[in-house]
Amino acid sequence: MYCVRNVTEDLYWVGANDHRLHLFENIHPIPRGVSYNAYLLLDEKTVLFDTVDWSACRQLLENVEHLLGDRPLDYLVINHMEPDHGASIEEILLRWPQVKVISTEKSFLFMRQFGFQIDGHELIEVKEGDTQTFGKHTVTFVAAPMVHWPEAMVTFDTTNGVLFSADAFGSFGALDGKLFADEVNFDRDWIDDARRYLTNIVGKYGPHIQLLLKKAGTILDQIKYICPLHGPVWRKDLGYFIDKYDKWSRYEPEEKGVMIAYASMYGNTEAAAQALAAKLCEKGVTNVWVYDVSNTHVSYLVSESFRLSHIVLASVTYNLGIYPVMHDYLMHLKGLNLQNRTFALIENGSWAPKSGDLMQKFVDEELKNMTVLNDRLSIASALHADKAAELEALADAIVESMQ
């Protein structure tokens, strides 16, 4: 059965939801599923904007066939060819061999690399500023390299103000009928998944998102709809989400608050983390969030690290190093380019505590623009009353640095 929704006048969402995939990119858990968004414009010419993951191809075809009726598909615009959007291109070409495919030079190159059979079809290569008219609608193509792959572009419909934004402004989470961000309580139910999507998938490329935001800034008053490739469509309060993207891509915290990430083998480092959390709350800092790195997927740790201003790393010493799962979390922060945070450290070691110095070295040398507070809590096996002053000093240092 087809499942489509009208976006505006002659534009339709023809994508699909996926609740079967457990790990996005085979790494990030998506307990709320994900949507692959594609859009069909019924102008004098018919135009499909992007396709869907192979697993959702059948739904896409039913949707497109339903809306086209007897009409041919004239154009296929590919803003982003990564297989979660491009895997159904070949099937579209098989069904509508006369369709003209519009994309960037690099996108066609990647399609061939992935083995998509595109040659023999009409391929229209576009670059920054090129335009195409489909009848009533004229669109402009805007390069968006590294948001999220180098071949990406976005397409702006100057007739109705629709921005097909590719991966930008996307989110994890299946739509389940609710297409528009104003049909859900986005700030309550969606923002965490939107942040987790952006920071883990495109977080590394903040400067490229900034470039795209600058381009969008020049036509901000003309943008009426943002149609991303995942998650809800935006038609109201666009500034709310653009502001979030601006903060995330500048690596600026959304909130003053403390994330305490602990790595604990027998519960003693955890107890120290909890003692610090309680101290902070006692001193009036209650935006405190405690995570066990061993049972929190790193994508959530990354997302919280982007949200909050302060990060406390509390780790046992393991094989004379940082606990491996904590090290993995730090490697993700490095890979995703997180910057501009204040760190505090708690180390634990029963005979040779090393994790404090090693975490300090990692933050100083591997991450950018970070501050590490001088006060450090160092414990031998477990936190005892003789360390009460050190705990107090650490909590005071964190509170002071938040003023």
Q: Rule CB under 6 A: which residues touch ligand FEO?
A: 80, 82, 84-85, 148-149, 167, 229-230
Query: How far, in Å, CA of 72 to CA of 74, rounded?
Result: 6
Largest Cα–Cα distance in the chain? 81
Residue 186 to residue 177: CA distance in whole angstroms: 15
Cα separation, 92 vs 57, in Å, equals: 9
* Complex with ligand FEO: residue 210 or 360, whichever CB lies closer: 210
Distance separating alpha carbons of residues 10 and 41, to the nearest angstrom:
6
Provide Rg for the chain, Cα atoms: 24
DSSP annotation string for 377-392: EEEBSB--GGGHHHHH
Nearest approach, Cβ of 84 to ligand FEO (angstroms)? 4
Nearest distance in Å: CB 230, ligand FEO: 6
The least CB distance from residue 148 to ligand FEO, in Å, is 4
- State the minimum distance, in angstroms, from the CB of residue 310 to ligand FEO: 31
Which residue lies nearer to ligand FEO by CB, 194 or 272? 194
Helix residue ranges per DSSP H, 49-190: 57-68, 83-86, 89-95, 105-113
Q: Is 336 helix (H, G, I), strand (E, B) or coil?
A: coil
CB of 114 vs ligand FEO, minimal distance in Å: 13
Residues with Cβ within 8 Å of 13's Cβ and at least 6 positions away in sequence, in order, are 4, 5, 6, 7, 37, 38, 39, 179, 227, 233
- Minimal distance in Å, beta carbon 121 to ligand FEO? 22
Name the residue type at position 263.
A
Its sign, for the CA torsion 235, 236, 241, 243, is positive
Distance CA 348, CA 330 (A): 17
